[in-house]
Amino acid sequence: MLAYTQFRFQLHNLRPFFAYLHSSLISVTQKRKYIHYYNNNRMKQKLKGLSQV
């Protein structure tokens, strides 16, 4: 029982770390989405330029 409470306490101490990890993961996926969107737009503009020629 004591080991369990110690484990719970350690888990509680790790909570900010997990929150940080989660937020950083979210920001990474958002950046990836943004980069993907940006690249798609650039490709479309290139295709537009090619079709106009």
Q: Is the pTM of this model over 0.95?
A: no
User: For every one of its 53 residues, what pLDDT tens digit does the chain have, with 9 covering 90 and above?
Assistant: 788 888 888 878 888 888 898 899 889 999 999 888 999 999 888 888 877 65
CA distances from 42 to 28, 31, 53 (A): 21, 16, 17
Distance CA 16, CA 32 (A): 24
Task: Give the per-residue pLDDT at 53.
Answer: 59
Which element (helix H / strand E) includes 9?
helix 2-52
